[in-house]
Amino acid sequence: MPRTLTTIGFDADDTLWHNERFFRVTQDRFAELLMDHTPEDMGPEALERKLLDAEKRNLGAYGYGVKGFTLSMIETAIDVTEGRVPSSVIKELLEAGQMMLSFPIELLPHAKTAVEAVTDDYRVVLITKGDLLDQERKLAQSGLGELFDAVEVVSEKTPQVYIDIFNRHGDGVARALMAGNSMRSDVVPVVEAGGHGVYVPHGLVWEVEHADAPEHSPRYHEISDLSALPALIERLG
């Protein structure tokens, strides 16, 4: 009897390896650098909101990843200081962004074994957003590159994007499963497209990636971590 599923997709950042915590560390550094240059009534939470607003506003122009985050930090620094931010602070913000591009990759628990468990029986695709060069660097350092039949770095994850990817690398989205930590990007659009979406929670989630779970759909699944993924896939067939 033929399998129901033929293609398995994995998200990368905060699904296979740590990522968001590096943004949080840099964001804390951003707040420290601006502490002496912002109005007295602007606390850390207000500054964080200003930065998040800039990131959201700039997604269409800069996309996802470190470069857009760095440019948004600089834009926010100029905005909240009314153009008075010292060039030395701008320089340190640039250095903080560059440092993020050199952080070592640390796999999340069960990441390698979960991917290895499905490579023999399914086509396996890495589907991720972010800077192309940075994602290539992280994949190379992760040691997982040879396990994937294909790698797709996309500007956004929409139902149509998933339809196109799983048509290109599989037998269509109806016979595909996508696992990831973002409800908005890794789960909801796949389910809307007709595939299986598996939510793998991660402690740190960027606010932009929040969305309501499609609990009404039989194609929505949630597991505590990637150790449970092979059994779920086997159950689905």
The pLDDT of residue 227: 97
Answer yes or no: is pLDDT of 46 > 80.
Answer: yes
Least confident interval from 39-43, 47-51, 126-130, 132-136: 39-43
The pLDDT of residue 72: 96
The pLDDT of residue 159: 98
Are residues 59 and 119 part of one domain? no
Are residues 149 and 115 part of one domain? yes
The pLDDT of residue 123: 98
Average pLDDT, the chain: 93
Does residue 2 lie within any of the structural domains?
no
SS3 letters across the chain = CCCCCCEEEECCECCCECCHHHHHHHHHHHHHHHCCCCCCCCCHHHHHHHHHHHHHHHHHHHCCCHHHHHHHHHHHHHHHCCCCCCHHHHHHHHHHHHHHCCCCCCECCCHHHHHHHHCCCCEEEEEECCCHHHHHHHHHHHCCHHHCCEEEECCCCCHHHHHHHHHHHCCCHHHEEEEECCHHHHHHHHHHHCCEEEECCCCCCCHHHCCCCCCCCCCEEECCCHHHHHHHHHHHC
Asked if residues 92 and 33 have their Cβ atoms less than 8 Å apart, the reply is yes
Q: Give me the mean pLDDT over the 52-61 stretch.
A: 92
The pLDDT of residue 39: 83
pLDDT digits (tens, 9 = 90+) for 96-124: 999 999 899 999 999 999 999 999 999 99
Does residue 51 lie within any of the structural domains?
yes
Q: Give me the mean pLDDT over the 217-225 stretch.
A: 97
Does residue 58 lie within any of the structural domains?
yes
Q: Give me the mean pLDDT over the 49-75 stretch.
A: 93
Are residues 122 and 24 part of one domain? no
Answer yes or no: is pLDDT of 12 > 90.
Answer: yes
Are residues 111 and 94 part of one domain? no
pLDDT band at 204 (very low <50, low <70, confident <90, very high): low
Out of 82, 100, 118, pick the residue that ends a domain. Answer: 100
Distances (CA, A) of 7 to 147, 186, 195, 206: 13, 15, 10, 27
- Considering its fold, how many domains does the chain have in total? 2
Are residues 71 and 133 part of one domain? no
Of 56, 58, 48, 54, nearest in space to 79 by CA: 54
Are residues 127 and 12 part of one domain? yes
Does residue 231 lie within any of the structural domains?
yes
Out of 100, 132, 166, pick the residue that ends a domain. Answer: 100
Does residue 1 lie within any of the structural domains?
no
Are residues 224 and 152 part of one domain? yes
Does residue 26 lie within any of the structural domains?
yes
Out of 85, 100, 115, pick the residue that ends a domain. Answer: 100
pLDDT band at 32 (very low <50, low <70, confident <90, very high): very high
CATH number of the domain that residue 50 is part of: 1.10.150.240
Count of other CB atoms within 10 angstroms of residue 150: 15
Asked if residues 197 and 187 have their Cβ atoms less than 8 Å apart, the reply is yes
Are residues 114 and 96 part of one domain? no
The pLDDT of residue 2: 60
pLDDT band at 41 (very low <50, low <70, confident <90, very high): confident
Answer yes or no: is pLDDT of 1 > 70.
Answer: no
Answer yes or no: is pLDDT of 155 > 80.
Answer: yes
Answer yes or no: is pLDDT of 236 > 70.
Answer: yes
Are residues 38 and 13 part of one domain? no
pLDDT band at 45 (very low <50, low <70, confident <90, very high): confident
CATH number of the domain that residue 133 is part of: 3.40.50.1000
Are residues 92 and 60 part of one domain? yes
Are residues 56 and 136 part of one domain? no
% of the chain at pLDDT higher than 70: 98
- Residue 79 is part of which domain span? 20-100
